[in-house]
Chain A
Amino acid sequence: MDPAGPEPTGRIEVRGLTKHFGSFTAVDHLDLDVAPGRITGFLGPNGAGKTTTLRMLLGLVRPTAGTATIDGRRYADIPNPLTVVGSALEATNFHPGRTGRNHLRVQAAASGVSDKRVDELLELVGIPAAARKRAGGYSMGMRQRLGLAAAMLGDPHVLILDEPANGLDPEGIRWLRGFLRHLADEGRTLLISSHMLSEVEQTVDDVVIIANGRRVAQGTVEELRGEPTAFVRTSDPDRLTAALQQRGLRVAPKGSGLQVTTEDLAVVGDIAHASDVAIHELRSEQTHLEELFFNLTETEGDRNRLTGATSARAGGSPDLPPPTLPPPSGPPVDPSVIAAPPADAKETGR
């Protein structure tokens, strides 16, 4: 193996993916790109269609329309897929009467992986002893770890994880972050779904946000996050604006106060103090990404409104983020923006 490591593979391409359950549209003409060697967060409120999308990608649910491929192949067309794509799905359960270790050994047999690897993986996810007990008594955290071990069984270079942080305690989430980072550093491609932005925001490179089965935003975390801003309310906005601008900060009036483009509240406070202006309120604002996501989850119950809001089709839609949002500092989110890093020019499939 050359020192630079193998060329990253594992491009996931979803085009026009649609799933109807009866008259209900769970996934609606979804386009999605996951670049090789990167961690992509797949975000959306509950019921947005994340799990359904991942299940279609994995050949478990038959799409009504559209395609989903991994390195150009449908999952079902990959010979011995566990060695190429590992996945842990939300609802993946274990037979309560079978030990976790035996569950992995069944999967190992099905994909020609050695039993020795099973025990190595149980060590890796930290449940070597517990996995010898029947799965019926496992905690959610243990199930998640066992699920991760199952995903890693065939040493795949693509990992698809549905809500891997669900049911983990803060310590478990920290462990998971480190684990995922480690996997990504090895050049693997990761697609991680979550209904909580905060769970994955620190971990992922790219973000895809869906709501009501449609894509709402796609881009790198930096792009979507926009520049950090602070909100300040003061007795004398004009004077403070002038003082801040003099120090090279961007300032804009916002509601009853000012929005300052900085993440450093102390700077704002110091400037105000130096120019003798009283401050009534000073706080960091949500990032654009946070706000975007918050608005989606807040209006979750209001299906019609949301559907209307997203109807201009995803990506760069002027309707989203809602007009009240500060504009992101980056360019409008557009599918082409996230186009893969140069690593592109590799052969697909192997």
Chain B
Amino acid sequence: MSAAIRAEFRKFFTTRLWWGMAIAVILSGAAFAVLFALVFTSDIARGPQGAAVPTTDAALAKAVFTGGIQIGYLLTLAIGVMTIGAEYRHQTITATFLAVPRRGRVMGAKVISLLVIGAFYGVLSLAGAVGAGALVLTAKGHHPFADSSIWRTLALSLLVLGLWALIGLGAGILIPNQVAALLISIAVAWIVEPVLGLVLALTDWGQNISPYLPSRATAAMLESTSGGFDGQPVDQLSWWAGALVLAAYAAVMAGLGTWRTVRRDIA
């Protein structure tokens, strides 16, 4: 198993994808942290209309530090898709299964390596976000590390990126064409699903469902408040429930992908 995991890491770090992604993750982490820090501390946002704006220093810091996490998880989602999609597209999957014919083992190695890779990008994202965000917050007279729950948010954001990568892994298998898989999963995760969440939240019955959507579960996990169409904060799960829900999505997607992969002919 450890040999298969090592092979997965080598695959990942021997194409140019990884450092392109690394730069994107650091920059987006920093940029969104600065943006959120400036907006949330501005007088307009703090005025009567800004109902969804974090009020405590701790909430403010969490929102700022995880401001770039959506871009981050979209990128690791793409990495998850490409981890398997590129193997089929370039037919390296043949070599992979020749070396390790136990396909479940290969999939296990992919899952573990993606969780580590997610954490790796999480560290990069936070390096950008905490560095830039803390600077702005301090300058604006807010305490960037007001209480210890911030550390939990930071730690969980590493897990968030890994779990989304696993969702991508499943999507990359279930949608056979890599380009289609990338487009569909990004479009769904970025636009369709968040909008669906907002729309659902408008109805009585949908209100109970929307907190369980992946993006809402992610926000809950990171305790970053977000507003609905009316600007009011929407209901969300507690951080641990959010983590469990997102982990369940990841497990289901990776599980379906594994199930499919084990049976598929490599022709």
Q: Which residues of A contact B (CB under 8 A)?
A: 52, 55, 58-62, 75-76, 78, 81-82, 87, 89, 91-99, 102-103, 105-107, 109-112, 150
Contacts and interface: CB of A to CB of B under 8 A. Distances in A.
B90 A94 contact: yes
Given A94-B90, A112-B3, A60 B95 contact: no
B15 to A, nearest CB: 4
A166 B97 CA distance: 23
A60 B265 contact: yes
20 contacts: A52-B267, A61-B265, A61-B266, A61-B267, A76-B101, A81-B98, A87-B98, A89-B94, A91-B91, A92-B91, A93-B94, A97-B16, A97-B17, A105-B14, A106-B10, A107-B7, A107-B99, A109-B3, A110-B3, A150-B95
Interface in B1-24: 3-4, 6-7, 10-11, 14-17
A91 B91 CA distance: 7
Main secondary structure of the interface of B (DSSP, over half): helix
Contacts of B97: 59-60
Given A81-B101, A94-B90, A98-B15, A109 B10 contact: yes
B3 A98 contact: no
Nearest to A150: B95
Contact of A75 (B16, B86, B101): B101
A121 B239 CA distance: 53
Given A62-B265, A95-B90, A105-B10, A110 B16 contact: no
A76 B95 contact: no
Interface of B: 3-4, 6-7, 10-11, 14-17, 86, 90-92, 94-102, 263, 265-267
Contact of B92 (A75, A87, A93): A93
A99 B16 CA distance: 11
B15 A110 contact: no
A191 to B, nearest CB: 15
Contacts of A75: 101
A307 B126 CA distance: 65
A96 B90 contact: yes
Contact of A62 (B86, B100, B263): B263
Nearest to B100: A110
Contacts of A62: 263, 265
Nearest to A61: B265
A148 to B, nearest CB: 13
B76 to A, nearest CB: 19
B98 A106 contact: no
Closest 4 CB pairs of A and B: A110-B7, A110-B99, A102-B14, A93-B91
Nearest to B92: A95
Contacts, number: 83
Contacts of B101: 58-59, 75-76, 78, 81
A99 B98 CA distance: 19
Contacts of A103: 92, 95
Contacts of B3: 109-112
Contacts of A110: 3-4, 6-7, 96, 99-100
Contacts of B95: 92, 103, 106-107, 150
Nearest to A105: B10
Nearest to B267: A61
Given A60-B98, A109-B10, 4 more contacts: A76-B102, A91-B94, A98-B11, A110-B6
B266 A55 contact: yes
Contacts of A55: 265-267
A91 to B, nearest CB: 6
A109 to B, nearest CB: 4
A49 to B, nearest CB: 12
Contacts of B99: 81-82, 107, 110-111
A96 B11 CA distance: 12
A97 B15 contact: yes
Contacts of A105: 10, 14
A29 to B, nearest CB: 19
Contacts of A93: 90-92, 94
A60 B267 contact: yes
Nearest to B15: A97
Nearest to B93: A60
A153 to B, nearest CB: 9
A45 to B, nearest CB: 19
Nearest to A93: B91
Contacts of A89: 94
A98 B95 CA distance: 14
Contacts of A60: 94, 97-98, 265-267
B177 to A, nearest CB: 16
A87 B97 CA distance: 12
Nearest to A92: B94
A241 B3 CA distance: 71
Contacts of A59: 97, 101
A82 B98 CA distance: 7
A102 B10 contact: yes
Which of B17, B99, B100 is the most central at the interface, judged by chain A CB atoms within 10 Å of its CB?
Answer: B99
B44 to A, nearest CB: 46
Nearest to B6: A109
A165 B169 CA distance: 36
B229 to A, nearest CB: 43
Contacts of A58: 98, 101
